[in-house]
Amino acid sequence: MEQSDAAVNGTVGSGAGSPVSNLVSRLGSFTFSRTSSGRVETATDSESDEAASVGGSFFETLTSSEFYKNTKVGDISGSFRWAPFLALQTSDTFLTMLLLLSKYRMKSLPVVEVGGDKIENIITQSSVVHMLAECVGLSWFESWGTKKLSELGLPIMKPSKLVKVNEDQPVLKAFQLMREKGVGGLPVMDTSGAKAIGNISIRDVQYLLTAPKIYKEHRSITTKDFLSAVRHHLQEQCEASPLLHDVITCKKDDTIKDIILKLDSEKIHRIYVVDDKGNTEGVITLRDIISKLVHEPRHYFGDFFDGVVPLPANSTV
């Protein structure tokens, strides 16, 4: 079976029932409700331990500000077109799910029953790649998985278009670029500008807030020093993180199967493509991989997304 057929027919993997519901059932569920005061609360199937409170001058300043005190959930949710998310139904096909997570740039998709107040689960790009990793051994996956990255047109982005920062630039510049360019992470390059020495993702902004030593220097700390400080912080807290390891790389001659397995095992969202000298040539993201699985039939979503989700000029999805 061709990979596109598997996606369209929702037959990736095995098991009875609708494709989305099968995936959801393996991940768990949680419900949400609104209290009499208007506050939204969630409850999972297995409640986790209460999160430890974080201290530091940033949070003291934040919680004492009028902006923090006066901002309501409704003020934030009202800024989203889909108030505040676009959800899947358990009866939706894999094609719908994969298109939303790739071409239409959704990072995660809540799965709901129509008219209900229960979110069955949230499907992410990472969970889809994990599902693909579990397809090792299936004939359709082995046939597709042996293709080299270059055969599939990966990396999609040209080297000259790669969004990056140098090691001596302020880390705030990295987060500013992510915001401006709409990317979830970028490489930190050495002084030559050719080799990546680290990766900073948008979620790493948390360390500017939760690590007091980093917060004190957040306006001036360089990307290189930020990476070093975060690693030290993680070691002190005994926390596991991709930031503790070297940059994960691959080459254009690697197979898509190798990349899927590496992304899944390392629990990372992007991998950098390097040449024989170790110079960075591009990046492959979870979205890039998912986009190679599907093609959108004409008028599949009608005009629902017209003018809402701008597509890159080189989009082939």
For the chain, domains (ranges, CATH) are: 54-293 (3.10.580.10)
Alpha helix positions (H), the chain: 3-9, 19-25, 57-64, 66-70, 73-77, 94-101, 125-133, 139-145, 171-181, 206-210, 212-216, 223-237, 256-266, 286-291
Is residue 49 very low, low, confident or very high in pLDDT (cuts 50, 70, 90)? very low
Per-residue pLDDT tens for 257-275? 999 999 999 999 999 999 9
Tokens standing for 69?
């005190």
Please determine, for residue 231, whether its predicted confidence score (pLDDT) is greater than 90. yes
Predicted pLDDT of residue 19: 56
User: What's the predicted TM-score (pTM) here?
Assistant: 0.73
Per-residue pLDDT averaged across 12-32, rounded? 49
The rounded radius of gyration (Å) of the Cα atoms in the chain is 21
Per-residue pLDDT tens for 65-82? 888 788 887 776 655 555
Predicted pLDDT of residue 235: 92
Q: For residues 240 and 235, what is the distance between their CA atoms, to the nearest angstrom?
A: 8
